A and B are shown apart, each in its own frame.
Chain A
Amino acid sequence: MQSGTNKDNGGVVKTTLNAGDEPLLEVRGLTKVFGTLKACDSIDLAIGKGEIHALLGENGAGKSTLVKMLFGTLEPVAGEILWKGAPVRIASPSDARRLGIGMVFQHFSLFDALTAAENIALSLEERTPIARIAERARELSRSYGLPLDPSAHVGDLSVGERQRIEIIRCLLQHPDLIILDEPTSVLTPQEAEKLFKTLETLRDEGKSILYISHRLEEVKRLCDRATVLRHGRVVAHCDPRKETAASLARMMVGSEVHAVVRAAPPKDADHSPLLEVAGLSREPSNPFAIPLRDIHLTVHAGEVLGIAGVAGNGQGEFFEAISGEALQDKAGMVRIRGKDAGRLDISGRRLLGAAFVPEERLGHGAAPRMRLSENLLLSRFRTDAKSYLTHIGIIRESTISAATRRIVSDMDVRKSSEDPEASALSGGNLQKFIIGRELDRQPAVMVVNQPTWGVDAGAAAHIRQALIDLARAGSAVLVISQDLDELFEISDAIAVMHDGRLSAPVPVGEATYEKIGLLMGGADASTPPTAAMEAV
């Protein structure tokens, strides 16, 4: 199946890549092996001139490995790359740049301590003085509508602004092919819309774009052709505009994804406030941190409250404050089950019946080199001291391994051995274990930061369902997430965090993507949408 529409410079729409129409980049049988894992297994791919080509696949499907080989940061073990018809070896990113391949990374390859102009200068081969680069960056940012201050330190910028630097840095090299790795995962819907306009302008100028995403709607809207990967193999080439989101999802996952069921809360349920935050403010703990400004919030029993926001608007600082990693000035700023918890540490808050799942799985949520059972004990030895430890502090191995087995089977954690080290699990499976470890306690208050970040669709659905079920069983659940789709799927109300402030929660029945998106961009909910759109 090798079909697709290809819009070239003249705007003539063709249905296929003709034999005479040489692709800009062609990849044949590209393979990369890590240990015993075939991350990429004989990948074939052709990208025409002036097309936006989507690379679809779940986490771990091999998308990032493939583009790293195209950009020269990884070396393939087999297969060939043809650039404008000629075989090439791309041994380093500078080779890729010389050919005309530019890349905008998912986890930005920027330097926090350097200014925007210095960051841009670093990826240019030519020996242009930094002052000149700042000038050219300014010109380019004007012509593509990407506002940028060349002298600002990257550490001070928002994620959207950082992405602009990445894009401008890439454009300054005059590439023929631009690779974008999950570019919209960090943007508000409005910012994403602006990015799409920029990309369409670039396509009209004859540049090719390889667009990596797992967001199906934007692929359908933007891309001319798509290649779908699953478990390191190409499963389909298709025209995303002729597919439905459901059919694309099927190709990616290989089976139907179960939709999350969100039952209405029972009418007669207890609705008492379990987590209350009142007037929470926090000074930034380091110069790149966001201060929290007078946050008020109440989560009731039986309710899932979602907190949306572009990354880096204080969500991490907020989570630290709620979980007790950072203490509050006044005990009453955070109340758990009606008791003042602001001056309690993490264990103190857990003993009140709260549970916390931080954003980073390895190193924060779990100790990478310790076994699952040891990780379970580490997080619960205070709250479950009676069952896990004898009165003189000796570990009860059998109880803990039974609990580990229970969590593993409840959450369907896939693992290679009986009790592996945390780092041996894939991201999705480890996340299921960490969430399961907390759910197993039946906490009255559950606070989760980015519950399904980097987790494949099947595992994500499982986690989301578990969170909803917990709330319906009478707990208060607070979910911080950058994934708006997720929040709309599981939340009863959504509040938005912007620049350290939290908006009033919007009941999910009244919330729209536009409304939430505007709040994420910092617009006041009361301003009319048109005026606010311009402010974004």
Chain B
Amino acid sequence: MGMLESILLTIATAATPLLIAAIGELVVERSGVLNLGVEGMMIMGAVTGFGVALTTGSPWLGVFAAILVGAVFSLLFGFLTLTLVTNQVATGLALTLLGLGISGMAGEAFVGQPGLRLARLDIPGLSDLPVVGRLLFGQDPIFYISIALTAAVAYFLFRTRAGLTLRSVGDNHTSAHALGIKVIAIRYMAVMFGGACAGLAGAYLSLVYTPQWVENMTAGRGWIALALVVFASWRPWRVLAGAYLFGGVSIGQLHAQAFGVGIPSQLLSSLPYLATVVVLVIISRNRRLTMVNTPASLGRPFVPDR
């Protein structure tokens, strides 16, 4: 395996959790809800995934448990913001803090324990192809899920009736309500999908990326996922591009540091953030496109008058 190939492999591993969390949040925001609790839901997924895998011995059970816990945790957010109509920003921040706290407490027993790794999924025949084989067909299973998820969400949003309904709720919930669309129910489903995705992204960190539990191991990835959604102007394939760009630059700067490039390491460490922001700002310069894609009801509470 060549040097380049291994670099590309690590880029995919760095990008996948961002992509999954961001795609989930994209669906949430397209329905008009701003959930700033991505980081908290991710860390809950990470600790659950690790713990369940450790105790049952099955990484897959860990993954499913993480998805479930992410969804249930987001349900708390949904109940507070959609049913009790609390402020979405404050509730999302609280969710992040709560998630970090609970995971730290629950994960105390796991610190230092050797974790389990989700097995690689080689596609027979194809994974032995030179150069691209390992890269495209010899990844961990969640990598494939993340790509399929992006495609599925893009198809769902722009090619199906249900996706149209979801977008309409995010654009103008008053009009949607007047048409008889169940605004709150749709938002609940979107929020739970977002939570499930964040949980999966968390499990990826503790079962694939670094198979161990470290407190606060999401290290701000939830926030990056949130930023990716906005800068990608709520388009799924742009989120993918953004996630891989971020992953690419962060891995690239690590290698640059290893080679002893004469740039302060702090500056190099900030490079992925800088590069992602610059590129995505350039992409989102098309204001017409941004305008059409921005969910106009984002973060606005909905109370039907009855």
B-contacting residues of A (Cβ < 8 Å)?
Answer: 72-75, 92-95, 97, 105, 108-114, 118, 121-123, 127, 130, 153, 155, 286-288
Which residues in A have their C-beta under 8 angstroms from that of B179? 93, 109, 122-123
Complex CA gap A108/B171 in Å reads: 13
Which residues in A have their C-beta under 8 angstroms from that of B175? 108-111
B306 close to A75 (CB less than 8 A): yes
Q: List 17 A-B contacts (CB under 8 A).
A: A73-B178, A93-B179, A94-B180, A97-B180, A108-B175, A109-B172, A109-B175, A110-B172, A111-B171, A114-B167, A114-B171, A118-B168, A121-B161, A122-B176, A122-B179, A127-B161, A130-B161
> Closest Cβ of chain B: how far from A99's Cβ, in Å?
13
With A114-B164, A288-B291 already in contact, the answer to whether A122 and B172 are too (CB < 8 A) is no
A287 close to B164 (CB less than 8 A): no
Interface of A is mostly: loop
A153 close to B292 (CB less than 8 A): yes
A93 close to B172 (CB less than 8 A): no
Which residues in A have their C-beta under 8 angstroms from that of B178? 73, 93, 105, 109
> Closest Cβ of chain A: how far from B161's Cβ, in Å?
6
Which residues in B have their C-beta under 8 angstroms from that of A112? 171-172, 296
- Residue in chain B with minimal CB distance to A129: B161
- B134 contacts A by Cβ under 8 Å: no
Which residues in A have their C-beta under 8 angstroms from that of B165? 122
- Residue in chain B with minimal CB distance to A111: B171
Which residues in A have their C-beta under 8 angstroms from that of B288? 287
- B269 contacts A by Cβ under 8 Å: no
Complex CA gap A67/B167 in Å reads: 27
Which residues in B have their C-beta under 8 angstroms from that of A73? 177-178
Residue of A72, A92, A109, A113 contacting most chain B CB atoms (<10 Å): A113
- B253 contacts A by Cβ under 8 Å: no
Which residues in A have their C-beta under 8 angstroms from that of B161? 121, 127, 130
Complex CA gap A97/B178 in Å reads: 12
- B181 contacts A by Cβ under 8 Å: yes
A287 close to B306 (CB less than 8 A): no
- B257 contacts A by Cβ under 8 Å: no
B294 close to A118 (CB less than 8 A): no
- B127 contacts A by Cβ under 8 Å: no
B168 close to A111 (CB less than 8 A): yes
Complex CA gap A92/B185 in Å reads: 15
A130 close to B171 (CB less than 8 A): no
B164 close to A109 (CB less than 8 A): no
- Residue in chain B with minimal CB distance to A103: B178
A74 close to B180 (CB less than 8 A): no
- Residue in chain B with minimal CB distance to A96: B180
Complex CA gap A127/B165 in Å reads: 12
- B216 contacts A by Cβ under 8 Å: no
Contact of B168 among A72, A108, A114 (CB under 8 A): A114
> Closest Cβ of chain A: how far from B64's Cβ, in Å?
32
> Closest Cβ of chain B: how far from A37's Cβ, in Å?
13
Which residues in A have their C-beta under 8 angstroms from that of B295? 113
Contact of A113 among B174, B176, B287, B296 (CB under 8 A): B296
Residue of B171, B293, B295 contacting most chain A CB atoms (<10 Å): B171
B305 close to A130 (CB less than 8 A): no
Complex CA gap A13/B167 in Å reads: 48
Complex CA gap A286/B288 in Å reads: 8
Complex CA gap A113/B167 in Å reads: 9
Fill in one digit per residue for B177-194: 1 if any A CB lies within 8 Å of its CB, else 0: 111110000000000000
Which residues 137-181 in B have Cβ within 8 Å of A in the complex? 161, 164-165, 167-168, 171-172, 174-181
B287 close to A287 (CB less than 8 A): yes
- Residue in chain B with minimal CB distance to A75: B306
Complex CA gap A113/B294 in Å reads: 8
Contact of B292 among A75, A95, A110, A155 (CB under 8 A): A155
A74 close to B292 (CB less than 8 A): no
With A75-B306, A288-B291 already in contact, the answer to whether A93 and B180 are too (CB < 8 A) is yes
Which residues in B have their C-beta under 8 angstroms from that of A74? 305-306
Which residues in A have their C-beta under 8 angstroms from that of B294? 113
With A72-B180, A111-B175, A286-B287 already in contact, the answer to whether A118 and B164 are too (CB < 8 A) is yes
- Residue in chain A with minimal CB distance to B170: A113
> Closest Cβ of chain A: how far from B47's Cβ, in Å?
38
Which residues in A have their C-beta under 8 angstroms from that of B172? 109-112
> Closest Cβ of chain B: how far from A243's Cβ, in Å?
33
> Closest Cβ of chain A: how far from B136's Cβ, in Å?
33
Complex CA gap A438/B154 in Å reads: 52
> Closest Cβ of chain A: how far from B165's Cβ, in Å?
7
With A97-B180, A109-B179, A111-B175 already in contact, the answer to whether A122 and B306 are too (CB < 8 A) is no
Complex CA gap A109/B161 in Å reads: 18
Fill in one digit per residue for B265-299: 1 if any A CB lies within 8 Å of its CB, else 0: 00000000000000000000001100111111000
A286 close to B291 (CB less than 8 A): yes
Complex CA gap A155/B172 in Å reads: 12
> Closest Cβ of chain B: how far from A120's Cβ, in Å?
11
17 more A-B contacts (CB under 8 A) besides A121-B161, A288-B291? A74-B306, A75-B306, A93-B178, A94-B180, A97-B180, A108-B175, A109-B179, A111-B176, A113-B167, A113-B291, A113-B296, A114-B168, A114-B171, A118-B164, A118-B168, A123-B179, A287-B292
